[in-house]
Amino acid sequence: MATSVTPSPTLARPELAGASHSTAQVIAHRSAPGRTGRAIYLTANIAILVFLLAPIAIVFVFALNPTPFIQFPPVGVSLRWFEKFFSARDFMHALVFSLEVAALTTVAATVLGASAALAIARGNIPGSRIIVATMLSPLMLPAILTGLALFQAYVLLDVGRPVWGLVAGHTLVTIPYVVRTTLAVLQNFDVRLEEAAQNLGASPARTFFEVTLPLVKPGVLAGAIFAFIVSFDQFPVSLFLVSPGNETLPITLFNYLKFDLDGTIGAASVISILLAVLVVIALDRTMGLRSTVKL
């Protein structure tokens, strides 16, 4: 019994085979630039990451290298500089004092900055854009000029260089971070949620603490993190406002560099980096920062 075989349309019509081949070439030609662009994009991102992380890697190498100078590749791994850092009374006092100032600054900047952002966003204040620009101005001015201006103001007021003056200076340069992050959240805030709570009988205070504050918490916490890190590592403002015996860690390291340069500087830098990371992790664990803050 004969079996009939239906010829393939492509084989029956050679021009279709040629068309399919040309179509495949066009697709391959179009996908080649896409692969090239993706490779360039990935290469550029890797280069940026290396550029950002290379200084941190160098600091870690310097802190763990047993030699008293920067050497690459390192000749070994040693904790001698960390031991020297934690055994030095000046460094420990400066570290504790910096943490205290940063904590006070974070509280003050968070309360004042969040309150100001809420007033600007809800108060219908005339010239609110000018007010926002004024509050963000410390970010535009060199911090060393801010420190010099505050120092001159304290001299004119004859108050010396008290601890509260240092905290006030740090608060001045950290408030813009809280204001900006809180305003970013308030711009997408649904006011109808507050209206619904008040229509259900909630008082203004209860509405604020149970509705408004939880919804703006991501922006406030992000600003608080920036405030702590900026205050802890603040050098230009602290340079003018610290007093003998009450020096922050950056100022103590600066004075140490005048006479010596060894791995203790790297160890102190590593401690600063780890503290900043621990602050973020602690807020994430206690307040669920990862699920609410989108940086």
Q: How confident is the model at residue 104 (pLDDT cuts 50, 70, 90)?
A: very high
pLDDT confidence of residue 109: 92
pTM given for the model: 0.74
- The pLDDT of residue 136 is 81
Q: What is the pLDDT of residue 254?
A: 87
* Model confidence at 85: pLDDT above 90: no
Q: Which letter, b or e, does each residue of 247-265 get, where b requires 16 or more Cβ atoms within 10 Å of its Cβ?
A: bbbbbbbeebeeeeebbbb
Closest listed residue to residue 52, CA positions, set 278, 234, 293, 273: 273
pLDDT in tens, 242-252: 888 888 988 98
- Is residue 239 within 8 A of residue 258, CB to CB? The reply is no
Lowest-pLDDT choice from 35-39, 144-148, 291-295: 291-295
Q: What is the pLDDT of residues 181-230, one digit of tens each?
A: 888 887 777 677 766 777 777 777 777 777 777 777 878 888 888 899 89
Q: How high is the pLDDT of residue 97?
A: 92
pLDDT given at position 294: 47
Average the pLDDT over 126-146 and give the result. Answer: 81
Q: Which pLDDT score is estimated for 107? A: 92
In this prediction, residues 91-104 reach a mean pLDDT of: 91
pLDDT digits (tens, 9 = 90+) for 33-81: 667 878 888 888 899 988 888 878 888 887 787 777 666 676 777 788 8
Kindly state the tokens that stand for 94: 């400066």
pLDDT at position 28? 52
Phi, psi of 153 (to 5 degrees): -65, -40
